[in-house]
Amino acid sequence: MALRRFDLEAGGDSFSFKPETEEKVAFWRAKYPADKQRSAVIPMLWLAQKDNNGWLSEPAMREVADRLEMPYIRVYEVATFYTMFRLQPVGKFHIQLCGTTPCQLRGAEGLKEVCTREIGKQMYVTDDKRLSWEEVECLGACVNAPMVQINDDYYEDLTPETLSQIIGRLRNGVELTPGPQIDRVNSAPEGGNITLTEPALFDGSRNSVSVLPNLPEPPPAPEPPPEPEPTPEATGQPDKSAPTNTDREEPSSKDIKE
Amino acid sequence: MSDTFKLNIDGQEIEVPKHYTLMQACEEAGAEIPRFCYHERLSVAGNCRMCLVEWQGAPKPIASCAQIVGDMRPNQDGSAPIVRTAGPYVEKARNGVMEFLLINHPLDCPICDQGGECDLQDQAVAYGRSSSRFEENKRAVEDKYMGPLVKTIMTRCIQCTRCVRFAAEVAGVEEMGMISRGENAEITTYLEKALTSELSGNVIDLCPVGALTSKPYAFNARPWELRKTSSIDVMDAMGAAIRIDAKGDAVMRILPELNEEVNEEWLSDKSRFVWDGLGRQRLDRPYIRENGKLRAATWGEAFEAVKAALAVNPDKVGVVAGDLIEVEQAKAALDLFRSLGVKNTDCRPAGAGYGTSGVREHYILNPTLMGVEEADALLLIGTNPRVEAAVWNARIRKAWLWGDLKVGVIGEAVDLTYPYEHLGTSAADLDKLASSDFYKILKDAKRPMIVVGERALCREDCLKLSQTVLKLSQDVGAVVDGWAGFGVLHTAAGRVGALDVGFVPAEGGLSTADILGGGLSTVVLLGADEVDLSKLGNAKVIYVGSHGDAGASRADIVLPSAAYTEMTATYVNTEGRVQMTTRATQPKGEAREGWAIFRALSAVCGKPLPYDTADQLRALLRGQEGEHTVFSGRGYAPGARGVSALSQPVPDVSGAFSSAPLATPVVDFYLTNPIARASKTMAECSALASRLDTPVAAE
């Protein structure tokens, strides 16, 4: 981790929360008593970062300090302590690439090469201001390693090819689907379920209480229904199947369309 | 449940109060515990881990500074817990801690100003390994700018955070902090702005390594080369205990010494860094003005010239004593001029209306500086203690922070580093006080304290003001048995001492404003530079002082005297505490101690004074055996002894308050006296302070 310092030049002189953010500011501040308002410093900094194109400028930090009546140095300490507060400008799409052991073992090194090749050095913002990337510590999606976080969404089960494709789409403003980029639902097995496939588990037939302990006379157990053929949901061929997470809310797609 | 707890420390059974930390308990038992981050006057951080001790049965070594004794439990058999502060287990633990501390420490002791008085150096010798096992690269940290006083070499920092805690807790300016984390952690001020505290120099003393050192003293001397002299500071009226470190003829630095009752262990920046002013602008020989220019003269010539100037009607002679006058000089000068029939003598600023009643309690700080820690309500009238007595201001803050002191202010609404109720800006607001909420707080307080700035007693309405405040003190119960809650906060180190020897106009004599108002033929200035000299007209001016400042430039005859580091002299602080400075270096050139100048002059004038040595003079001040005078005791403040004098009925004074706002006399904290004005360091600080008009913190 390199030295973290405010980019004072890019930060300008002033910052103000967007009008629609004020509600959230009020929400967080309302959680704490009047004399303990400084407890809201982390969510407030987070909102300020969101309102400042994904990074925390010095005026933005001061705005938070002024609102919470905290000395600037105390807020500065918090802002520099947490690496998720970025003190330098980032692109419209900021890629946080997980480089911790599970992802590394599953090929994060290759993803880093892709980012370096297609974007540049870490924290470098492309000329069109659309892209930047940095390596971060574990994002907690090890089961879908390797993965990246782009703005608020996880893109998982990546290969250098799929990441390169994603970067290309971000650059060109093409819609993206977050989540696993291979044929699997969230962290379910690749190519469909291989356990818990019995329909009886899901049709409610096993829900009736069979035996209550210590009852004087146990009622007779019901007949088990015949076992049906397993019907896999996924085909195991990612290119040929439709995405399985289409009903998911996609906050990033709006960004891409504009 | 008893309030004490039994411990077995190094085989010794000891019983200590439950709120003690294990470190305090170990020290009670006589053991020495090494530490870096722990400091008696700061909150406990527990991050250096140097104070590890063994608690038998505990799975790990215990950081003794953060372990409260009351939280420990006895052994299974009910016997006192066994703690060891030495032995292989403890040694190994501390050795390991020391090894980690030294991993990123540059070990540049040969070029480090802390060398020779460095906690890390000393403790590395005691607990460290003989050599390093660390083969990787050490980290390096950028140096930070912290203003003209504090030099930083941040690679040496071991992140004890003493400086951060000092700034936040004692100085009350939250400007220092530790940013980033882990290996990248750095101590800095916010965006490397200069510290805005008047106490910032104390972080140099607090720093256990050489990360924060004195900028003006950088590379000037090694501690073992310095001659150390315990003395008293005269930059303000507190009389802080200091140690003057001198090499040869020069004062190399000034450090605070412990005086729990006055300065605890802090020192203001002016007192600490003024020493370069002692070597500049000095008057090192007598001068006589001839044809409009001062020319160097011998003492003999100068005395003859003074004799001639004094050979006029004594009513046409006036004497004004300045802020830094020592008791001996005041006494000798007063004796001489009284014997010459001069009545026009004064040591107070122009317009002063105090000090003539003969009641000492009316012009000293009766509740004492330490008394503010006992007080539960404090009313400050026309004073800004932050610039008038910076170290005392930190004590007020301490009383507010750790106690429940409530503060009210009538005067300028300035940042005092603690919250207060602002009750008005002019003396007329005293009339409204009785109907305010703060009056009720004062009235309900067990130990109310009312402090008037000296300058508030130097106004047209000062008699009315002092009468009102005295009456208020009696009304709210500030003057009761065992508690004299009324006090005056002075800004000049010499004032109380000069008042104590009676350096006020004699019956029918003129006061400062009139002496300086023109019309006299001869005016003698005893280091008086803080007064308005513009109206002196054609008067012949004799200046006795140590520095070429306002007074010397107007003078016709200049007699050089010793500065406070160059003489053993008596000063009385604002509490009425009699203290003595010690000579650390010789007076510059032909300069002499003030009293000796007047003793010699008295012989020239044919009225020899009845003492030939300073000891004889001081014996005279002390009075006869068994006689009690102000000077018969040394080092204590009279405090509550003043109750009977203060509880006398106060005569009514008619008239109204002037509407002029109450202001502090300290316009520029760093430039209040000739020594400070001669100091380059102080000039730099002053220039910086005047530029810092944008507040750094939200609080």
Per-residue pLDDT tens over the stretch B412-436: 999 999 999 999 998 888 888 988 9
At A228 the pLDDT is: 65
pLDDT, chain B, mean: 92
- Omega into B74 within 30° of 0, i.e. cis? no
- Among B174, B176, B179, the residue with its CB nearest the CB of A80 is B179
SS3 B530: coil
Q: Nearest 5°: CA angle at B319, between B314 and B320?
A: 160
Structure-block tokens of residue B113: 């100003």
At B102 the pLDDT is: 92
Q: Check if the beta carbon of residue B187 is closer than 8 Å to that of residue A85.
A: no
Structure-block tokens of residue B587: 């007076």
Contacts of A65 in chain B (CB under 8 A): 698
Q: Which residue of B has its CA nearest to A66?
A: B698
At B692 the pLDDT is: 63
Give A252's pLDDT tier (boundaries 50, 70, 90).
low
User: Taking residues A228-242, what's their average pLDDT?
Assistant: 52
Report CA torsion sign: A185, A189, A190, A194: negative
At B254 the pLDDT is: 96
Q: Where are the domains of chain A?
A: 8-81, 93-180
At A257 the pLDDT is: 46
Q: Using CB atoms within 10 A of its CB, is residue A28 exposed (0-12), middle (13-18) or buried (19+)?
A: middle
Residue B296 has phi, psi (to 5 degrees) of -65, 145
Q: Which residues pair with B414 in a beta bridge?
A: none
At A50 the pLDDT is: 94
Q: State how beta strands B176-179 and B186-189 pair.
A: antiparallel
3-class secondary structure per residue, B391-410: HHHHHHHHHHHHCCCEEEEE
At B592 the pLDDT is: 94
Please tell me if residue B184 touches chain A, with a CB cutoff of 8 Å: yes
Structure-block tokens of residue B180: 């980033």
Please tell me if residue B181 touches chain A, with a CB cutoff of 8 Å: yes
Fold for A93-180, please state it.
Glutaredoxin (3.40.30)
Helical ranges in B49-116 per DSSP H? 88-103
CB atoms under 10 Å from CB of B180, counted, come to 18
- Among B176, B180, B181, the residue with its CB nearest the CB of A73 is B176
Residues in chain B, how many? 699
Q: Chain B: give the shortest CA distance to residue A71, in Å.
A: 5
At A212 the pLDDT is: 67
Please tell me if residue B178 touches chain A, with a CB cutoff of 8 Å: yes
Report how far residue B470's alpha carbon sits from residue B406's, in angstroms, rounded to the nearest whole number: 20
Please tell me if residue B189 touches chain A, with a CB cutoff of 8 Å: yes
Fold for A8-81, please state it.
Arc Repressor Mutant, subunit A (1.10.10)
Please tell me if residue A71 touches chain B, with a CB cutoff of 8 Å: yes
At B101 the pLDDT is: 92
Q: How far is CA B205 from CA B45, B102, B201, in A?
A: 18, 21, 7
- Among B180, B189, B697, the residue with its CB nearest the CB of A4 is B180
At A196 the pLDDT is: 84
pLDDT digits (tens, 9 = 90+) for A144-197: 999 999 999 999 999 999 999 999 999 998 989 999 999 888 888 888 888 888
Query: What amino acid occupies position B77?
Result: D
**Which of B429, B410, B367 has its CA nearest to residue B392?**
B367
Max Cα-Cα span within chain B: 95
The answer, yes or no, to whether residue A253 has pLDDT greater than 80, is: no
SS3 A128: coil
**Which of A27, A137, A152, A38 has its CA nearest to residue A94?**
A152
**Which of B606, B692, B638 has its CA nearest to residue B307?**
B606
Asked if B184 lies within 8 A of A3 by C-beta distance, the reply is: yes
Beta-carbon contacts of B360 under 8 Å, excluding residues fewer than 6 positions away, are B499, B500, B576, B630, B638, B642, B645
Q: Check if the beta carbon of residue B427 is closer than 8 Å to that of residue B465.
A: yes
SS3 B618: helix
Asked if B190 lies within 8 A of A80 by C-beta distance, the reply is: no
At B165 the pLDDT is: 96
Asked if B191 lies within 8 A of A6 by C-beta distance, the reply is: yes
ipTM above 0.90, yes or no: no
Q: Check if the beta carbon of residue B246 is closer than 8 Å to that of residue B252.
A: yes
Q: Check if the beta carbon of residue B226 is closer than 8 Å to that of residue B283.
A: no
**Which of B406, B321, B382 has its CA nearest to residue B598?**
B321
Residues in chain A, how many? 258
Mutation for B interface: A13, A57, A68, A73, most B CBs within 10 A:
A73
Asked if A76 lies within 8 A of B190 by C-beta distance, the reply is: yes
Round the CA-based radius of gyration of chain A to a whole number and report it.
Answer: 24
Averaged over successive runs of 10 residues, the pLDDT of chain B (699 residues) comes to 88 93 94 94 93 94 94 91 94 94 92 93 91 90 93 94 95 93 91 91 95 94 95 95 94 95 94 94 94 94 95 94 95 95 94 86 93 94 94 96 93 93 91 90 94 91 89 92 93 94 92 91 94 91 94 94 95 95 94 95 94 94 84 87 89 84 90 94 92 49
Report how far residue B372's alpha carbon sits from residue B401's, in angstroms, rounded to the nearest whole number: 12
- Among A70, A72, A80, the residue with its CB nearest the CB of B180 is A80
At B204 the pLDDT is: 96
Please tell me if residue A63 touches chain B, with a CB cutoff of 8 Å: no
Report how far residue A169's alpha carbon sits from residue B522's, in angstroms, rounded to the nearest whole number: 93
Please tell me if residue A3 touches chain B, with a CB cutoff of 8 Å: yes
Report how far residue B276's alpha carbon sits from residue B285's, in angstroms, rounded to the nearest whole number: 20
At A258 the pLDDT is: 44
Report how far residue A120's alpha carbon sits from residue B69's, in angstroms, rounded to the nearest whole number: 57
